[in-house]
Structure 1
């Protein structure tokens, strides 16, 4: 394919693997890049020197473009950005913060910058900050999410009306058919998270991958909006959160319940009861754990088949 996203990143297919915490290490990022998509390292779950290690290993594992996703709410962001510059990474996705903070600094040093948003308002702010592209993520997505609960089906055409820079759709996309739908709505490419969690190369715990495969419709819920909106699989921790809400918990009490390393405990260490299990609604459509290259290949085959179906309408 030859479109704005493949040209922007120098990749074969307009598929971006989301930089998910505790799932997106060098094995996954390099596998997706080698398969023709854009792999991203998830710096949100990495200390600075861990990020340096993953960048180095990714550079050895692929000659293809890859990037780093940096949530801007993390305290070590200055060190993370220094390492990105020192190691020669050429693509950075920023999220969970003001795009003006780092966009100019990175672009002046030759880095392609993409910002993740959940609303038209923030898409326009990202454009004004000078980013090269925007990821518009509907509330179907897992991980940190928008408070307004705008669905991908509504968000993508709404953002497309207001910006002219490349637009990447995210939230609820795990198949080639969904990829085609997003592009019909105005997206130039897609970002895929949950489907790559259930990949052989994802660094998430095997128990979490199996939990994703077993998830059905209605098994996830967007919650904790007072802190940072996150979509969770309904386990004991989730029900503890709902109990806290029922008792009128304050923001401070919610923070205490969440504690430290709750996401690591669940998604990386495999505690399926007390851990925070972030995943998208589309987990209900994920039925197996596959190699990342197979996921990319399957998506592209489904995309072409869906185009043929539409052509016959």
Structure 2
């Protein structure tokens, strides 16, 4: 047992990321049943949809879980009421300052974890009273920090900045990656990209197949003027590049992005006009597996890596 497994009452110090259009109750319950923290991603849900997903999770699984709550969500009050109604044990806050809601959540007995992309913000999150931080490196999928700090640099920086538990994210999809993050100072990890391709993920099968087919260099961080996001290159990405070449303003880039672009790509499987958010580590994933198979593989490879590094001591 370490600080993360003790805090979250889970077997392994691993969190399944709350990814939009991927992380519904099926993925969350499958992950929780296999010893890690399953997360329902509320960022793509109306409050009534979140309510349904939590109810279905509770009917399928009696183990701890979390809801990922983007703090910039326009109807956050309704999401909070749903979270309170179902006594959700853990909330992972992101995309905003935790100062406004951490005290409210903790007053309800909810454990709060804040996602950060810098050591400075990690310290602010600790001061706001969160129980742990997730430091997400530049390699991650979805929306990233503007600093573009890689996990290899970010993890030790955040570890030095805070005394609360640190969870590493970004570029982690293997047991070896988990061990590396822990050696760098993390107490646990959050994994998104690999679980985005899980059988239980609500992402479209065509999207999952595209992620599995991704090679080195197929993803790129772009749209930094709006909110930095890592995408698989496709026809929509080419339009973004053309926009930059033509000197598009942030407003024009926003118009090009429009609404529902991530849903179109991830949930509906439009590989040309959709926003195909995914992590840089996609090139290491070569098949679609169940959550149980993924977790078993992570544990097996982690233990193998620990054994293989036991003789590397320098004298």
Partner of 2:180: 181
Give the Cα–Cα distance (whole angstroms) in 2 for the partners of residues 15 and 169 of structure 1.
9
Question: Secondary structure in 1 aligned to 2:78?
Answer: helix
Q: What's the secondary structure of 1:82's corresponding residue? A: helix
In the alignment, the residues of structure 2 paired with residue 101 and residue 259 of structure 1 have an alpha-carbon distance, to the nearest angstrom, of: 29
Q: Deviations over 1:154-184 (max 9, x none)?
A: 0000110110100000000000000000000
Tell me the distance in 1 between the aligned counterparts of 2:90 and 2:44.
18
Instruction: Find the aligned partners of 1:103 and 1:117 in 2 and give their Cα distance.
Output: 14
Superposed, 1:128-277 pairs within 5 Å as: 128-277=127-276
Partner of 2:101: 102
Partner of 2:29: 30
Unaligned runs of 5+ in 2: none
- Which residue of structure 2 aligns with residue 306 of structure 1? 305
Unaligned runs of 5+ in 1: none
Q: Is the partner of 1:100 in helix, strand or coil?
A: coil
Q: For each residue in 1:257-309, what CA deviation from the matched residue of structure 2 results, as whole angstroms up to 9, or x when unmatched? A: 01010000000011000000000000000000000011111101100000001
Partner of 2:115: 116
1:74 aligns with 2:73: yes
Q: Is the 8 A contact 2:120 2:161 kept in 1?
A: no
Tell me the TM-score normalised to structure 1 length: 0.99
Number of corresponding residues: 312
CA distance in 2, matches of 1:17, 1:110: 22
Structure 1 moving runs of 4+ over 6 Å: none
Q: Which residue of 1 aligns with 2:45?
A: 46
What is the alpha-carbon distance in structure 1 between the residues aligned to residue 78 and residue 143 of structure 2? 22
Structure 1 residue aligned with 2:58: 59
| CA–CA separation in structure 1 for the residues paired with 2:285 and 2:112 | 30
1:36-95 Cα offsets, whole Å, 9 max, x none, are: 000000000101000000000001111110010011122111111110001110100000
Native 8 Å contact 2:174 2:301 kept in 1: yes
d(CA) in 2 for partners of 1:99 and 1:248?
35
Listed one character per residue, the Cα deviations across residues 173-231 of structure 1 (whole Å, up to 9, x for unaligned) are: 00000000000000000000000011000000000000000000000000111111100
**In 2, Cα distance between equivalents of 1:256 and 1:78:** 28
Q: Residue 238 of structure 1: CA displacement?
A: 0.7
Q: Check the 8 A contact 2:207/2:265 in 1, yes or no.
A: yes
Contact 2:131 2:164 in 1 (8 A): yes
CA–CA separation in structure 1 for the residues paired with 2:161 and 2:274: 39
Secondary structure at 1:191's aligned position in 2? Answer: strand
1: CA distance, partners of 2:145 / 2:238: 21
Give how far 1:312 is off: 2.0
Q: Name 1:294's counterpart in structure 2.
A: 293
Q: Give per-residue Cα distances to partners, 1:103-129, cap 9 Å, x unaligned.
A: 000001100000000001110110010
- Taking structure 2 as the reference length, what is the TM-score of the superposition? 0.98
